[in-house]
Structure 1
Amino acid sequence: GLPVIRGGETCYLETPEFMSKHYRRLAELPINILGGCCGTTSEHISSLVQSVKAR
């Protein structure tokens, strides 16, 4: 996700549901690996897995 600074702290506001929509679109591309980076939680990865399974 994109970082936001709040009260001097770095926060990542994208929810697993928000990311899920983008994962679905990415899964349509000819790529072999999808994952996360900064701000990604286990809930985000679970959402990724469910999105890819649904296609």
Structure 2
Amino acid sequence: MWSEWRTSSRSNGGGACVELARSVEVVRVRDSKNAGGPVLGFSAHAASAFFSSLKRG
């Protein structure tokens, strides 16, 4: 089952954000300004590694 789309708690509401939805195995990402547009999908493992690397800088 997919979670609801959510925006980062660090979003400032300026419209330059991405939204995430996830299931057990896949994380979906879309542009918050274009909810009907393209959606990227990543394995949960790949998404976790990517976000961890962002946090480390």
Compare the two structures and name the one with the higher helix fraction: 1
TM-score normalised by the chain length of structure 2: 0.29
Q: Which protein is bigger by CA-based radius of gyration?
A: 1
Compare the two structures and name the one with the higher strand fraction: 2
Tell me which of the two structures has the higher relative contact order, counting C-alpha pairs closer than 8 angstroms and 6 or more residues apart. 1
TM-score normalised by the chain length of structure 1: 0.30
